[in-house]
Amino acid sequence: MQHASSPSDRHGRRAALVALALAAALPGFAQNELSNFTATGRGGAINALATEYQALGINPANLGRATGVKVAFTVGEFGASLSSRTASRTIFNNYVFNTEKQFPRNQDGSDLGATATNPIGPERQKVIDAFTGENVAITQSDVTPFAISYYNPTIGGIAINTRYRMLGSADLNRNAAELILAGNNATIIREARRTGTFPLVAEALKGTHLQIQAVQEFNIAYGRRVFEGEGVEVSLGLGFRFIRGIGILDVRSDGKTLSAYGALSPVFDAEYPVAIAHDAGFNQKTSDGSSAKFPSVGSGSAIDVGISATIAKKIHLSASIVDVGKMTWKANSVEIDPKQRLQVFGQTPDEAEFNASYQGPITYNFWKSLKRFQIDSDSTSSPFKYRAAGKREVKLPTRVRLGAGTDLTKKITIAIDGQLPFDKNLPGSYRSALVGAGVTYKPVYWLHLSTGVSGGAGFGASIPLGIAFVTRSYEGGIATRDITGYFGETNPYLSVVAGFLRFKIGAPNNDE
């Protein structure tokens, strides 16, 4: 049994994990190049133009393309994004930048403006409305600590890297939004108390779909030119990925059936009731003094296959299938009983603002709101009851990627990219096809300015912007997925992608 820690310790660990995920690291652009500022600034259009280690997870065949660079490596590239298709910018900013802002309340703790028939105050109601619908929140984070590639004309190209990824998305029905933000004042709880009949959780959460997945990857890929003649070069490539599972949460309901499963690394510091911890089917994993920063609770593997062609040494075409594989979550696995009925929020002794008459969070601190739904020592403070779950296999979000790109002139490069998910319901998968087109302009050889347009996958239309400083042996830059997402009251979208330590050895001299 994992020992309980103090509330401040637990909050600190969770806050640190959240900060890591959001600042450096749950479906943007392609999942595998979120930390690639070159791709981001050009609308995600990278499939045909990615070379060296940048081809990892995108198209391994591009490693077989000769660029004149023998060795390329990078250290510490990162990217993070957070967006909402339902919240206003004012509400979005409160949850991101002003988390300690309080909902207006009366002296007795009730919402200001609440009535006898509706205990939910006007301001809280606005937030509930903003948290109801599809794509309430979409977040991604990605950090690449290190990547390196080597190319030889005779044997081809090989690349390796390690990467952390977190992806999350949320569709919430009104009941789910009210449970998170109004607690026992949620309409469905008040009605159940009045009638004495509590609905099944599957019925209460109809249309809700919450997915979060965090993993660490180790990638290796090889690409080689297999044909050259008549102005056409063709390369093939194969990539392999070993994956360590850090955490997964997958909750979905169609009103009749409920699937609610989770497995969390010890870094999340979850506590498990005795009934779960002693269950024969529960494989509990603690840190056990492990030196790993993120002890794993699952593992998996995937392959990427690709083909690329260059016509007249100018036009690049590319196609690949990536993330073909599965994850097996083995430890710390729990689920909500699919036949369980909803229950009221109980008391949480270590949290002063939570009590038997819990009426929702006092502040805009979203993570504190979700704390009410965590597994607790007696399964009474949450409206859900949890039970032990055995290992679970989950297919990876396989995608088809297509791309084309060319240098129109020495100063202008254009590209187009498309991605199609095989199964949009898998954790980490896009909700729909994603397309992007972009252009890079080089007013001088060392300055690359990029922009474009992308759309789909629940993000709407986005206009990226990027800037990179490039010399023969060095490259660094910063980009955003959507410059318009920082302005306007609707569809808020915050993103940043950066890398400042890219180096190349044996690169051709293009300083002109």
The boundaries of the domain holding residue 361 are 7-505
Name the nearest CA neighbour of 45 among 502, 481, 501, 388.
481
Task: Name which of 97-106, 377-386, 444-453 the model is least confident about.
Answer: 377-386
Report yes or no on 343 lying in a domain: yes
- Domain count along the chain: 1
Quickly state the pLDDT bin for 40 (edges 50, 70, 90): confident
Which two tokens mark 173? 């029905």
Report yes or no on 244 lying in a domain: yes
* pLDDT of residue 76 exceeding 50: yes
Length of the chain: 512
143-158: average pLDDT: 96
| Residue-level pLDDT at 430 | 74
- A 10 A CB-CB count for 377 gives 13
362/347 Cα distance (integer angstroms): 15
Q: Which residues contact 313 (CB under 8 A, 6 or more apart)?
A: 231, 233
| Residue-level pLDDT at 290 | 56
Report yes or no on 408 lying in a domain: yes
Q: What is the pLDDT of residues 314-351, one digit of tens each?
A: 999 999 999 999 999 988 889 988 888 998 887 554 44
* pLDDT of residue 9 exceeding 60: no
Q: Quick one: CA dihedral 288, 293, 296, 302, positive or negative?
A: negative
Using N-to-C axis directions, what is the helix angle for 187-195 and 174-182, rounded to 10°? Answer: 90
Which two tokens mark 423? 């199964």
Report yes or no on 37 lying in a domain: yes
Assess contact for 132 and 174: CB atoms under 8 A: yes
Report yes or no on 98 lying in a domain: yes
Name the nearest CA neighbour of 320 among 307, 329, 303, 301.
307
Please report, for the domain that includes residue 356, its CATH number: 2.40.160
Q: What whole-number percentage of the chain has pLDDT above 90?
A: 57
Report yes or no on 229 lying in a domain: yes
Report yes or no on 249 lying in a domain: yes
* pLDDT of residue 356 exceeding 70: no
Which residue(s) pair with 148 in the sheet? 73, 160
The radius of gyration of the chain from alpha carbons, rounded to an integer in Å, stands at 24
| Residue-level pLDDT at 285 | 82
190-198: average pLDDT: 92
Return mean pLDDT, the chain.
85
Report yes or no on 2 lying in a domain: no
